[in-house]
Amino acid sequence: MEENQGFPKVDIHYNSTFVPNPLVYFALLVLRLNEDANKLGFFDFIKYVDKLIDFQCKHVYYRIPEVRLSEGLQTLQNECDYSEFLEVANDNRHVDVYIDHDNEPLFEWIQKEEPDDEDLVYSEEDVDSVLADDENCEHEEDESVTSRKRIFKRTYNDKFLKKLCPVVVEDEDEKRQTTFSYLP
């Protein structure tokens, strides 16, 4: 198949579902539109996509390129939306179209995912709200093997631990029970 000549690439993601927090579309199938979307009107575009994916498109969205899905998701419901879609496609030379088969409440999910700037409270006194470049993060070494052995020696014959965590092993040859202390 030849790469499209001069018109923007339109990838159609379908036969999957949107998932919230963070908003993601698990695209099982992706098809590239082989026609120039500029030559199609909104209804012709929808009919073409319907035939292409063999499914009636009721909920169609597109994403502004190089923007997170939750921030760049736009509806594609009428001629006005379609003209904005074409503008984005022509400016970026590529655009992704998403088909929502389940009629999910996407914009409610997006609103819950991203708090309004008015809801956020910033404080200069809050040390955690600002990343400090001068803080030193050094990796702490794991305990040495010798310190683990020391702990094991101290707890191996501890009467309290033996009562708290007994391990009973039956030896079938001698028909006796032996209790061991269990240490994780």
Looking at the structure, do residues 87 and 173 belong to the same domain, yes or no? no
Structural domain harbouring 17: 9-113
Chain segment 130-153, per-residue pLDDT in tens: 444 445 556 555 555 555 556 556
Q: Does position 108 have pLDDT exceeding 60, yes or no?
A: yes
Q: Does any domain span residue 1?
A: no
Among candidate residues 92, 113, 134, the one where a domain is terminated: 113
Q: Does any domain span residue 70?
A: yes
Please give the pLDDT value at position 90: 92
Looking at the structure, do residues 171 and 88 belong to the same domain, yes or no? no
Number of domains in the chain: 2
Q: Does any domain span residue 168?
A: yes
86 and 40 Cβ atoms separated by less than 8 Å: no
How many residues in the chain? 184
Q: Does any domain span residue 143?
A: no
Distance CA 170, CA 20 (A): 53
Q: Does any domain span residue 124?
A: no
Chain segment 15-26, per-residue pLDDT in tens: 877 788 887 887
Closest alpha carbon to 95 in 43, 159, 32, 169: 32
Residue 2 — pLDDT band, cuts 50, 70, 90? very low
- Is the pTM higher than 0.85? The answer reads no
More confident residue, 163 or 92: 92
The backbone region for 129, taken as left when phi is positive above 0, alpha when psi lies in -120 to 50, beta otherwise, is alpha
Looking at the structure, do residues 167 and 95 belong to the same domain, yes or no? no
Residue 20 maps to which CATH number? 3.10.20.90
Looking at the structure, do residues 71 and 162 belong to the same domain, yes or no? no
Q: Does any domain span residue 175?
A: yes
Among candidate residues 63, 91, 113, the one where a domain is terminated: 113
Looking at the structure, do residues 32 and 104 belong to the same domain, yes or no? yes
73 and 36 Cβ atoms separated by less than 8 Å: no
4 token code pair? 């499209």
